Chains A and B, each alone.
Chain A
Amino acid sequence: MITRRVFAGLIGAAAMLPGLGWAADMPAPLDNPGDVKVALVRYLSTGDFFQAYLSGVEKQAAAIGVDLRVFDSRQDAALQADMVDQAIALGVDGIIIQHGLTESMQAAAQRAVEAGIKVVAFDVNVENDAIPQIEQSDRDLARLALEQAVEDNGTEFTAGYVYVPGIAPLDRRDETWVKVKAANPGIKQVAEFGTLDNPIANSVANQARSVLSANPSITVMFAPYDEFAKGVKIAVDEAGMTSQVSIYSADVSTADIAAMREAGSAWKATAATNPAVVGEVSVRALAMLLAGEDPGHNVIVPPTLITQAMLNDLDIKNMEDLGKKAPAFAHADVAVPDWMPLPAR
Chain B
Amino acid sequence: MKDTSHLIDFAIKYGFLLLMAALIVVFGLNAEGFLSPFSAVFILQSVAITGILALGVTATLVVGGFDLSIGAVATSALMLSAYVMVVWEMSAGMAVVLCLLMGAAVGLVNGLLIVKARIPDLLATLGMMFLLVGLQRIPTEGRSISTGMALPDGSTAAGIFSPGFLMLGRHRLDLIVPDLLPLSVVFLVVIAVLVWVFLELTRHGRLMYAIGSNAQAASLAGANVNRYKIAAYMISGTLASVGGILLAARLGRGDVASGNNLLLDSVAAALIGFAVLGASKPNAFGTAIGALFVGILLQGLTMMNAPYYTQDFIKGGVLVIALVFTFALSGRGGRGRG
Residues of B in contact (CB 8 Å), total 56
Closest to B149 in A: A254
Complexed CA–CA distance, A94 and B42 (Å): 52
Question: In chain B, residues 238-283, which have Cβ atoms closer than 8 Å to a Cβ of chain A?
Answer: 247, 250-253, 255-262
Closest to A319 in B: B150
Among the stretches B5-13, B200-208, B223-231, B299-307, the one at the interface with A is: B299-307
Question: In chain B, residues 73-107, which have Cβ atoms closer than 8 Å to a Cβ of chain A?
Answer: 75, 78
Complexed CA–CA distance, A164 and B185 (Å): 29
Beta-carbon contact of B260 and A258 below 8 Å: no
Beta-carbon contact of A214 and B148 below 8 Å: no
Complexed CA–CA distance, A214 and B31 (Å): 7
B residues in contact with A318, CB < 8 Å:
148-150, 156
Beta-carbon contact of A214 and B32 below 8 Å: yes
Interface residue? B162 (CB, 8 A)? no
Beta-carbon contact of B143 and A48 below 8 Å: yes
Closest to A255 in B: B146
Beta-carbon contact of B260 and A51 below 8 Å: no
Question: In chain B, residues 287-303, which have Cβ atoms closer than 8 Å to a Cβ of chain A?
Answer: 298-299, 302-303
Closest to A230 in B: B251
Whole-angstrom distance between the Cβ of A4 and the nearest chain B Cβ: 4
Whole-angstrom distance between the Cβ of B197 and the nearest chain A Cβ: 29
Whole-angstrom distance between the Cβ of A269 and the nearest chain B Cβ: 19
Complexed CA–CA distance, A1 and B261 (Å): 29
What is the interface residue range for chain A against chain B? 35 or more
Partner of B150, one of A3, A234, A254, A255: A254
- The verdict on A214 contacting B46 (CB below 8 Å), with A1-B141, A45-B142, A46-B137 known, is no
Interface residue? B147 (CB, 8 A)? yes
Complexed CA–CA distance, A259 and B147 (Å): 10
Interface residue? B29 (CB, 8 A)? no
Interface residue? B153 (CB, 8 A)? yes
Partner of A317, one of B32, B45, B156: B156
Whole-angstrom distance between the Cβ of B250 and the nearest chain A Cβ: 6
Partner of B46, one of A164, A209, A253: A209
Among the stretches B17-25, B33-41, B52-60, B120-128, the one at the interface with A is: B33-41
Interface residues of A (CB under 8 A from B): 1-4, 7, 45-48, 50-51, 164, 191-195, 197-203, 205-207, 209-211, 213-214, 216, 230, 234, 237-240, 253-255, 257-259, 317-321
The 7 closest A-B pairs by CB, nearest first: A255-B146, A318-B148, A210-B302, A214-B303, A206-B46, A4-B152, A197-B261
Interface residues of B (CB under 8 A from A): 31-34, 36, 38-39, 42, 45-46, 49, 75, 78, 137-144, 146-154, 156, 170, 179, 182, 247, 250-253, 255-262, 298-299, 302-305, 307-308, 311
8 A/B residue pairs, CB under 8 Å, sorted by A: A193-B302, A193-B308, A198-B260, A238-B170, A254-B150, A318-B149, A318-B156, A319-B150
